[in-house]
Chain A
Amino acid sequence: MNNDILSSFRPALVMTLLFALLLGIAYPLAMTGIGQAIFPRQANGSVVREDGKIIGSTVVGQAFTSERYFRTRPSAAGQGYDGLASSGSNLGPTSQALGDRVQQAVAAMKAAEPGKPIPADLVTTSASGLDPDITPQAAYYQVDRIARVRNIDAHALKRLVARTIDRPLFGFIGEPRVNVFELNRRLDGIGAKPAR
């Protein structure tokens, strides 16, 4: 037994050191080098620049709260869409806090536009708090409001939404979804651009 323990020290120490260099330093650095060389856009967060400024990422969501834009989902990340504090609400199915929160959101939406069934993703927080997408139903739900506020033809908006829908690979890998950042950029493209 003693011999078993003593004989293990050198291999344990040296192997720890060698593997730390190989797996902890060389592997991630090599992947960083290769990734930056072949896929520089994705490796740096898939960001989009406009007039030299970074206005968002096509992968990670950003908050849209104004009436003029298609809104993103409610977010539990920090104060909403905080890219340094991803989080879900973690409220369980019998949580009073969840019930109250959804009830308020539903009441506000019903007051603005009575009679329309509310898609679940518009009143529930996502897992990450950074969900870039909404369902096609949630996008269509918002068409009337935006058509009114922006004074654009609702049919044109529906066509815009339909063009922006990302379909699942082979029909079943992934879900039909609309990237809200992409959709709103296109929206600004067809209407007059609001002052920043």
Chain B
Amino acid sequence: MTVQGWLLIAAFVGILLALTKPMGLWLFAIYEGRRTALHAALGPVERGFYRLSRIRPDEDQSWRRYAVHMLVFNGTLLLLTYVVLRAQALLPLNPLGYGAVSEHLAFNTAVSFTTNTNWQSYGGESTMSNLSQMLALTIHNFLSAATGIALAFALFRGFARRSATGLGNFWADMTRVTLYLLLPICVVYSLFLIASGVPQTLAGSVDVSTIEGVRQTLALGPVASQEAIKMLGTNGGGFFNVNSAHPFENPTGLTNLVQMLSIFAIGAGLTYTFGKAVGNTRQGWAILAAMMFMFLAGTTLTYWQEASGNPVLHALQVVGGNMEGKEVRFGIAASALYSVVTTAASCGAVNAMHDSFTALGGLVPLFNMQLGEVVIGGVGAGIYGFLLFAILAVFVAGLMVGRTPEYVGKKIESREVKLAVLAIAVLPLIILGMTAVASVVESGLAGPLNKGPHGFSEILYAFTSAVANNGSAFAGLTANTPFYNGMLGVGMWLGRFFIIIPMLAVAGSLAAKKYTPPTAGSFPTTGPLWTGLLIGIVLIVGGLTFLPSLALGPIADHFAMIRGQLF
């Protein structure tokens, strides 16, 4: 570990904390439907969209209506993507002449991008036409992110409103987030990326005759426009096979830092927005403190392990940290930090190959996802996931002192606790269930590239990433098969919407409650005691179920590695 490495981590955290309040305030203005400086330019677009689709943006929707409209919209987007991918060969902007995407791959990809997972069973530059990248994939990067933020807004309203029946309007939330937040930032962000060396062209490739006289064809395309929203919306679906490790997606140390910040910016801002919505910004900071504690713990472990390097290579007199699967321009520190950021959020973009990390260095990304990506988390998804844990935390605190639990002025009763447990139980159930199946059937065992415990880690990582809607991979796994495309596709869908529906039900139930003012006996949900309790609940309830699987995978791998045993 180096001083420069720690300076980078400190700068990252410092800039993030400085961005949290302004981003939170901007999100709060959108949450409230206030007029912003951008309305002069984009207001007519917003109103035009409502008029053409006959939406009344001030119609207050019940939680059921909010959920149904969100689901039908996402289902329609899924179909659009499936059709575009299947018809790719017949559509324009296909300079390299790629054929139709296979049924199971198109299904997997459509689900993947709809659910904000962006798991990629394909290599972008060798599969997708430019039109597919733009029309089938880029739009999801915006709209799945906008959907996530809209859902977080709905839950905020559940806490903030009193004796109310509605949670706001899905269409208005989704449209406003897209027009007043995501799109304007992406325009500026794309230009920054292009200036830094990220291509933005409709050409498919350029032929190079290298200095040594070899022919090299470099894939190009409209990369920057997709790259910007891929990071900002915590999507993570890269233009190229190796994602942000590709020099065309992430050319410099500066683009790398900006990419990491853009993964966390909205998620961190939403904690502040939550505090504003419930009338006490300290509620938001308490949540952010718990998140940052877990984030820094994970970063330290991964950075330490990657900097220590692989003893197997040290035995061959190769000096230095673990550089297998890493780029020189990022080195150890920025690669380790990026891997923790991308899995703490539900981004899944990678700037190094997680599969080639040291065993414990790779355990942290895996564990981050298993916690449900609530350490900052995906845009929207992180904060609503975390608030479900907060409901459990006040419930546990209530049991200990024998009082009815309350949180931000709402009584937490059995309905909310049951629904929260249901949503939280989905993750271990599906991840471990599907991993178990894939570890015994033939078509599952055909997947891993690596042998021994690391092969099991590859399978476990795939299902964890899919169900938690992350999208990063231990990419040695051959996942573009009917078995994995199908299983992972179903896993992604369940992992997204089987959390969202109970979460919206909680929001609906909370909105209907009266305000309960805090009394001397209320458990305070702002101080360090609360932050500590939150961390404990997330680690114990969210993490403990996964420990046996981690022991079989990365932990066994670690002991093999330090003994120098190879498979």
User: Complex Cα distance A135/B89, Å?
Assistant: 43
What distance in Å separates the Cβ of A168 from its nearest Cβ neighbour in chain B? 6
The chain B residues found within 8 Å of chain A, CB to CB, are 4-5, 7-8, 11, 45, 49, 52-55, 64-65, 68-69, 72-73, 75-77, 80, 123, 125-126, 134-136, 138-139, 142-143, 171, 175, 178, 183, 186-187, 190-191, 194-203, 205-214, 216-220, 222, 224-226, 240-242, 245-248, 251-254, 256-257, 309-310, 312-313, 316-331, 334-335, 350-353, 355-359, 362, 449-454, 457-458, 474-476, 557, 560-561, 565-567
Interface residues on A, range: 35 or more
What distance in Å separates the Cβ of B333 from its nearest Cβ neighbour in chain A? 8
Contacts of A54 in B (CB 8 A): 206-209
User: Complex Cα distance A135/B323, Å?
Assistant: 11
Partner of B242, one of A19, A34, A87: A87
| Contact indicator A43/B211 (Cβ below 8 Å) | no
| Contact indicator A93/B322 (Cβ below 8 Å) | yes
User: Complex Cα distance A99/B560, Å?
Assistant: 13
| Contact indicator B200/A35 (Cβ below 8 Å) | yes
Contacts of A32 in B (CB 8 A): 200-202, 222, 225
| Contact indicator A91/B139 (Cβ below 8 Å) | no
| Contact indicator A106/B11 (Cβ below 8 Å) | no
Between-chain CB contacts (< 8 Å), 12 pairs: A15-B55, A19-B178, A28-B225, A54-B207, A60-B248, A62-B211, A65-B212, A90-B476, A95-B567, A127-B351, A133-B329, A135-B328
Knowing A94-B312, A128-B246, A130-B247 are in contact, say whether A120-B319 is a contact too (CB < 8 A).
yes
What distance in Å separates the Cβ of A154 from its nearest Cβ neighbour in chain B? 22
| Contact indicator B246/A175 (Cβ below 8 Å) | no
Which partner residue on chain B sits nearest A118 by CB separation? B318
Contacts of B200 in A (CB 8 A): 31-32, 35-36, 43
Partner of B359, one of A93, A132, A185: A93
User: Complex Cα distance A54/B561, Å?
Assistant: 45
The chain A residues found within 8 Å of chain B, CB to CB, are 1, 4-5, 7-16, 18-20, 22-25, 27-28, 30-32, 34-36, 38-39, 42-47, 53-66, 69, 73, 81-96, 98-99, 102-103, 106, 117-121, 123-135, 168-169, 171-175, 177, 181, 184-185, 188, 196
Knowing A59-B251, A131-B247 are in contact, say whether A86-B355 is a contact too (CB < 8 A).
no
Contacts of B324 in A (CB 8 A): 89, 91, 98, 124-125
Contacts of B202 in A (CB 8 A): 32
Interface centre among B216, B452, B454 (most CB of A within 10 A): B216
Knowing A32-B225, A59-B247, A86-B246 are in contact, say whether A93-B457 is a contact too (CB < 8 A).
no
| Known contacts A42-B198, A94-B452; 15 further A-B pairs (Cβ under 8 A) | A19-B142, A22-B45, A31-B190, A35-B201, A42-B196, A45-B206, A47-B218, A57-B218, A61-B247, A84-B126, A86-B245, A88-B475, A95-B566, A124-B318, A126-B327
